[in-house]
Amino acid sequence: RCELMQWNSQPQRCNILDLNRNTPLHTCAKQAPHAAKMFPVLLEHGANPNIQNAQGQTVLHLLAERAVVVHQQQQGSAEGVGAAADVPFSRLVEMVAEHSPNLDTAEAESGNTALHIAAFGGCIELAVQLASMGASVALPNKDGFTPLDSMQPSGHATRSLPELLLSKISKQPSWVPDRMVNACQLCKLPFDPRRGPNLARKHHCRHCGRCVCFVCSPKRMPIPKFGSSQDERVCLICEKVITSSAP
């Protein structure tokens, strides 16, 4: 324990970097069976969950990757999963959440956030948890895909994965910067005035923050969860989610 190593009250030791810029917290996340025991100790003594390693990964990226590996092993065969299957990934993410993590940090090479990894890897429970915590569902990675572009089954009787993630949004999102997108994030058609007025201008959905064209965001409506009675521009999918959530 940190006390035995005299690391208590010395957060710089809990954040020491190896040659790949991994902290003890990164290493702990990679060693899934041991993570549940060591995570609270490291965090309690000042481990910083926002430090990025040489690949631009925070501890949330690594937890998401491990969760995806375990999920895929469980989908393929119950054999060989081992102790990692017993790791409470949801609880570990909760522990990190108590220490003001940056949920939208992007990996250097792919541009993926932890939510991208969970959503595209089929870890629906973790993806929903991250979205509920405030992770952006609209940020594009370097290939232009957002977590909402995942085609993984949601496991929900009436909602697709995008609808499920959108239903977990609880606060007004930051808009995706115009400079990050060249095409509508919903229909994928490129913005170009030569294609007509519907694609001449970039609009933003006030519910999810995505950058969309006029055709994909034709309506305005109140968003009660944000405490607003004013009509706001929303994309087609968010319109459906908001309407289905209305009392």
Task: For the chain, list the domains and their CATH numbers.
Answer: 1-168 (1.25.40.20), 174-247 (3.30.40.10)
> Given a cut of 90, is residue 2 above it in pLDDT?
no
At 4, the pLDDT band (50, 70, 90 cuts) reads: very low
The stretch 25-40 carries a mean pLDDT of 81
pLDDT in tens, 199-212: 889 999 999 999 99
> Given a cut of 90, is residue 38 above it in pLDDT?
no
The stretch 73-99 carries a mean pLDDT of 75
At 45, the pLDDT band (50, 70, 90 cuts) reads: confident
At 87, the pLDDT band (50, 70, 90 cuts) reads: confident
> Given a cut of 80, is residue 34 above it in pLDDT?
no
**DSSP SS3 for 101:** coil
- The C-alpha torsion from 26 through 31 and 33 to 37, rounded to 10°, is -40
pLDDT for residue 167:
97
Question: What's 190's DSSP letter?
Answer: B
- Choose among 39, 51, 27, 35: nearest CA to 2: 39
> Given a cut of 80, is residue 81 above it in pLDDT?
no
> Given a cut of 80, is residue 83 above it in pLDDT?
no
pLDDT for residue 246:
62
CA angle in degrees (0–180, nearest 5) for 95-27-13: 80
The stretch 73-86 carries a mean pLDDT of 61
Give the containing element (helix H, strand E) for 234.
Answer: strand 232-234
pLDDT for residue 148:
98
Percent of the chain with pLDDT over 90: 69
231 φ/ψ angles, rounded to the nearest 5 degrees: -70, 130
pLDDT for residue 14:
83
pLDDT for residue 155:
87
Q: pTM here?
A: 0.90
The stretch 43-50 carries a mean pLDDT of 91
> Greater confidence, 108 or 8?
108
> Given a cut of 70, is residue 160 above it in pLDDT?
yes
At 145, the pLDDT band (50, 70, 90 cuts) reads: very high
CB 96 within 8 A of CB 59: yes
Instruction: Give the chain's mean pLDDT.
Output: 89
